Chain A
Amino acid sequence: MKNSIVLMMLFSLVLVQACSVEPVPLVYGKDMCHTCKMTLVDTKFGAEILTKKGKVYTFDDMNCLLSFYTSDYEKRSNIQQVLVIDFTAPGKLIDASTAHFVRADAIRSPMASGVAACSTAEGLATHNTEWNGELLTWDEVVQKIK
């Protein structure tokens, strides 16, 4: 009896895990930007929207991400997480809501948004001495970048 309860619990744990939504790494050279249809190639830029049902939308640049995010194509309430690529760690996805952003003309992003993201403020500071860009939080990015 006790064994079967343990088994049941284990089984339900497996079920819960199977339902949880996990970020999917971007595959550069294969994945296509949902907005602009370009193949992702620049590993310093990129983003991903994860829905609660586990659907993944990939983007090559912040403006492509935001034109999708601010449209009603997928309701905000359905979005589980927004992830962006860390400029200083190519290919690494980080949570957008806690990320630090900088916008500068000198940043050559795939769709010319000129926005780079990083998990820490210091990570961008060294690059930004050269760029002289504007530091932004996620909420500011959502308002300003189109």
Chain B
Amino acid sequence: MLALLGILVCIIPAVHATTYKIGNQHNIKTIREGIALAKAGDTLLISAGIYREGNLVLEKALTLIGENFPVLDGENKYEILTVHAQHVVIQGFRFIDTGIASINDLAAIKILESKFVSILNNRFENTFFGIYFASSSDCLVDKNQLTANAEAEHQIGNGIHLWKCQRMTIRNNRIKGQRDGIYFEFVTDSHILNNYSEGNMRYGLHFMFSNDDEYRDNTFINNGAGVAVMYTKGVKMIHNTFEHNWGSSSYGLLLKDIRDSFVLDNVFKENSIGIFMEGSSRNEIKNNEFVKNGYALRLQASCDDNVFEHNNFRQNTFDLVTNGSLVLNTIKSNYWDRYEGYDLNKDKVGDVPYRPISLYGTVIERMPTAILLWRSFFVFLLDRAEKAIPVITPENLKDELPSMIPYDLR
């Protein structure tokens, strides 16, 4: 009986739902009219064309579907769409040219205090903020494309911006040229899946105070400062690619004050610094590929109880540098292409430990200008001498079980 009632409750709104067609050739010419006319549960079908309607406010459960990408133009003045409702769907639009303001964060779509909102398959061009969520939950952002051309970081907002949200899913989006591609602040129990974040001014992904989230299968390439994950616990970072984040204060991944998190199965390729870790504890960094980075790992002395295991280190200028002498992290069973030891018992594990820290790396850490001497004969001699009799480099920082052959990770 209860089940029957449930089904009835589900069907009744569906029966009453109306579809309104909007466009020049129809009776309803503007989206604003359509929104005013429609009731909760209705659908607005918007024909191709250009709509300049200033700021549209949506406060009921409507489905807005664009046919052949109708253009919603902010005329460089307005926030285009403000949503404050539940069960809203926005699909198939092209949002262009929002206003730029330094006090208010103008966005193409701003979603405030809403639930169950889906933003599907839209395009955003030159929007200040693209999709902006605040105090919302259980929303989906799928298959959107965002592109912006700004000259300075403070003239552009974030692509997909979330603030104080729960249970959100951000997937299959492409973000280019924003300030931060994806921005999470106080967002919990959420997923970031299979996104492509390229050429953003600051970070490809920016993550603060956001516990128990997962990001998986994303690509972060060519961003100003890479990816920053900060002041968070319980993050899963799995099977992502961090590539070509070059610059003096740039890194593939910055882990700042991170606890009880996982960095698994990722590729760090051609970054100034693969992973920069500061003030982070109890994290597992396993099965990652570090290739062709300036520094593969830069581990500050403020980190402890982290485990680095089963990673490949290949063709990095420096495998590991640190600024202290105390070793509180575990480094074991990694493959290091610089390892020069031997394996007499043929168990594919090197018989002598590998010391990933070179003397020269330590010198540079204290005196950056010494980079001038890189690849000189002098440095070669120093490193050899230090390998034989460690004086400056931390004696205990070593991989006791270095693998003789690289792991097959991807």
Contact = CB atoms under 8 A, between A and B. Distances in A.
Interface of A: 28-29, 32, 36-39, 41-44, 90, 108, 111-112
B102 A90 contact: yes
Contact of B152 (A29, A42, A111): A29
Given A32-B249, A37-B254, A43 B102 contact: yes
A112 B209 contact: yes
B154 A29 contact: yes
Contacts, number: 43
Contacts of B254: 37
Given A29-B201, A32-B249, A90-B102, A39 B208 contact: no
Q: Which 9 A-B pairs give the minimum distances between C-beta atoms? A: A29-B153, A41-B153, A28-B154, A43-B154, A32-B249, A41-B154, A39-B202, A29-B152, A39-B225
A104 to B, nearest CB: 14
A108 B153 contact: no
Contacts of A29: 152-154, 201-202
A38 B228 contact: yes
Contacts of A36: 230, 256
Contacts of B154: 28-29, 41-43
B102 to A, nearest CB: 6
Which of A41, A44, A108 has most B Cβ within 10 Å?
A41
B103 interface: yes
Contacts of A43: 102, 154
Contacts of A44: 102-103
Contacts of A41: 153-154, 179, 201-202
Given A43-B154, A90-B102, A37 B278 contact: yes
B224 interface: yes
Nearest to A87: B103
A63 B179 CA distance: 22
15 contacts: A28-B153, A28-B154, A29-B152, A29-B153, A37-B278, A38-B230, A39-B153, A43-B102, A44-B102, A90-B102, A108-B105, A108-B163, A112-B185, A112-B208, A112-B209
A76 B179 CA distance: 35
Which of A28, A32, A37, A90 has most B Cβ within 10 Å?
A37
Contacts of B225: 39
A111 B278 contact: no
A37 B230 CA distance: 10
Contacts of A42: 154
A37 B256 CA distance: 8
Which of A37, A39, A43 has most B Cβ within 10 Å?
A39
Given A29-B154, A41-B202, A44-B102, 18 more contacts: A28-B152, A28-B154, A29-B152, A36-B230, A37-B254, A37-B256, A37-B278, A38-B202, A38-B228, A39-B202, A39-B224, A39-B225, A39-B249, A41-B153, A41-B201, A42-B154, A43-B102, A111-B208
A20 B228 CA distance: 37
Which of A38, A44, A112 has most B Cβ within 10 Å?
A38
